[in-house]
Amino acid sequence: MLNFESDYNNGAHPLVLQHLIQTNDTQSLTYGFDIWSQQAKQKIKQVCQSDNLDIYFLCGGTQTNATVIDACLRNYQAVISVDTGHIAVHEAGAIEASGHKVITLPSHDGKMDIEDLKEFFYAFDNDESKDHTAQPGMVYLTFPTELGTLYSKKEIEDIYSLCKSRKLTLFIDGARLGYGLMSENCDFDIAFLKDNCDVFYIGGTKTGALCGEAVVFCDKNKTPECFFSIIKRHGALLAKSRLTGVQFDALFTDNLYFNIAKNAIDKAKELKSILQQAGFEFYLNSPTNQQFVIIPNEKVKELEKQVIFTHWFAYDKKSTVCRFVTSWATTQKEIDELRKILLK
């Protein structure tokens, strides 16, 4: 059946798979010391235009968020996220499992508004009981957001500036980083990120890999102490680190990561146009590979006979916000089939 459910329902990109095949018979060091992990780190440094980065490969978004947040925060510190943030809702309490509160601010189409952040700190600073509350230590953003929206260069710069002035770590969750950076609406590249936050990650699972996320600490002198042991303590250390090393080595060879992310964006534009022509109301305007439309429930049932997509949430008693996702693997044929179904 036609499937627009997620960007992680395919196998690996052929070039990623090919690299796994070609390297399979070579013995290697383990726990991150294999040659391919080293190469991949080098290539990421090049594309980020900095040698001052410290890079680690982990396996899955929740694991990465939990490990990085726990590593950057002191035991008693909390992380600030919008209420639609992945860590706030869809990680089954993984952040709290390490003892850290997630403080939530209102989501604006998935984004954090710096005015809300300022207001939070104004109230915090003026709260006579602030020492009785969880102490904020980090701001967590997703790029693109869980709703497919993007921060502008200026928005990130401003938030980072605020973070620095308050000694907060700025962490950017890039589970779909490629899809954000390749959007026409994005006004910066990956090199910008390394100068405008403390740590971010480059999602591989949703962009061509079988698994793997590359954590990038933007200043290698500020990597949390004992981060290797912290990874291990979080059960996030792969013995056969070649698995992630080889995949990221392939993804960052010849711009593959960005090229295949671009495919999802191109297909999403067509998808958007089809959904529009089909007369669906958009829940919000997403410039990336996730599109959210409000569909009457009867129509949902009918459509589900031919296409797989996600019920995001009940918009009201009569209609549902549904998500359609393209990916690096979405083909023109799939788009054309959807067009036929929706615009017949």
Phi, then psi, of 201 in degrees rounded to 5: -130, 150
Q: Which is nearer to its own copies, 48 or 82 (CB)?
A: 82
Q: CB nearer to its own copies: give 211 or 294.
A: 211
How far apart are CB 34 and its own copies at their closest, in Å?
9
CB of 157 to its own copies, least distance (A): 28
Residue from 184, 326, 331, 180 nearest 257 by CA = 180
CB of 112 to its own copies, least distance (A): 18
CB of 32 to its own copies, least distance (A): 10
C-alpha span between 143 and 156 (Å, rounded): 10
The CB density around residue 153, as the number of other CB atoms within 10 Å, is 13
321-324 long-range contacts (CB < 8 A, ≥24 apart) are: 321/283, 321/292, 321/293, 321/294, 322/292, 322/293, 322/294, 322/295, 323/290, 323/291, 323/292, 324/4, 324/271, 324/275, 324/290, 324/291, 324/293
**CA angle (277, 283, 284) in 5-degree steps:** 95
The residue among 184 and 225 lying less far from its own copies, judged by its C-beta, is: 225
The residue among 124 and 192 lying less far from its own copies, judged by its C-beta, is 124
CB of 50 to its own copies, least distance (A): 25
Closest distance between its own copies and the C-beta of residue 134, in Å? 4
Residue pair 185/150 in contact (Cβ under 8 Å)? The answer is: yes
Give the nearest distance from C-beta 184 to its own copies in angstroms: 27
The smaller minimum CB distance to its own copies, of residues 12 and 261, is found at 12
* E strands present in 49-168: 54-58, 77-82, 102-105, 135-142
Host H or E run for residue 199: strand 199-203
Q: How long a stretch of residues is the chain?
A: 344
Q: Which is nearer to its own copies, 6 or 50 (CB)?
A: 6
By beta-carbon proximity to its own copies, the closer residue of 8 and 192 is: 8
- Phi, psi at residue 209, to the nearest 5°? -100, 165
Distance of CA 267 to the CA centre of its chain: 19
Residue 83 or 109 with smaller CB distance to its own copies:
83
* Helix, strand, or coil (residue 185): coil
CB of residue 133 vs its own copies: minimum separation in angstroms? Answer: 6
Q: Is 56 left (phi over 0), alpha (psi -120 to 50) or beta?
A: beta
329: CB partners within 8 A, 6+ apart: 10, 13, 263
